[in-house]
């Protein structure tokens, strides 16, 4: 099972919006609404930012939003702030034997 495909890096200026894509297949992203997104700062544990494609966990800023179209899920961050600079990973359940798979990760740089 290959990892979900994410861009290696994205960047944006403070106040701007950015979108990170996560492309899978009809066996994972396209099959279920079980896509989640995680933020990870260097040396820290991951933090859940979005679950079940578009739901916001308690305590997470509403500047973060998620969506899905076909086999591609997306994470959008609006009103970029310096503290958003981190690595972001998508994750999806899959019907394949491996059960679940992460994306390769995207490094977000706030210029």
Partner 1 sequence: EVQLLESGGGLVQPGGSLRLSCAASGFTVSSTYVAWVRQAPGKGLEWVSLIYTGGNTRDADSVRGRFTISRDNSKNTVYLQMHSLRAEDTAVYYCARGHTTGTWSFEYWGQGSLVTVSS
- Find the binder of partner 1 among 15, 100, 109, 111 (CB under 8 A): 100
Q: Which two structure tokens, joined as six digits, stand for 28?
A: 């994972």
Residues 108 and 18: their CA atoms lie apart, in Å, by 9
Binding residue count for partner 1, defined by CB under 8 A: 29
Residue that is written with structure tokens 């994306």 in the block: 103
Residue 102 interacting with partner 1 (CB under 8 A) = yes
Q: Give the pairing type, strands 47-50 and 35-40.
A: antiparallel
Answer whether 90's CB lies under 8 Å from 4's CB.
yes
Residue 107 interacting with partner 1 (CB under 8 A) = no
- Find the binder of partner 1 among 13, 62, 82, 97 (CB under 8 A): 97
**CA distances, 58 to each of 46, 49, 94, 97 (Å):** 15, 9, 26, 32
Site mask, partner 1, residues 50-69, x = CB under 8 A?
A: -xx--x-x------------
In the complex, the residues that contact partner 1 under the rule CB under 8 A are: 1, 3, 32, 34, 36, 38, 40, 45-48, 51-52, 55, 57, 87, 89, 91-93, 97-105
């Amino acid at each position: 099972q290959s990892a979900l495909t994410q861009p290696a890096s994205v960047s944006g200026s403070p106040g701007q919006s950015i979108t990170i894509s996560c492309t899978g297949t009809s066996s994972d992203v396209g099959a279920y609404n079980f896509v989640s997104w995680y933020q990870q700062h260097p040396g820290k544990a991951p933090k859940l930012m979005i679950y079940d494609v578009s739901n916001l966990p308690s305590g997470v800023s509403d500047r973060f939003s998620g969506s899905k179209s076909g086999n591609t899920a997306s994470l959008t961050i609006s009103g970029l702030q310096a503290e958003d600079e981190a690595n972001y990973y998508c994750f999806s359940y899959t019907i394949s034997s491996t059960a679940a798979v992460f994306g390769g990760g995207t490094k977000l740089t706030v210029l």
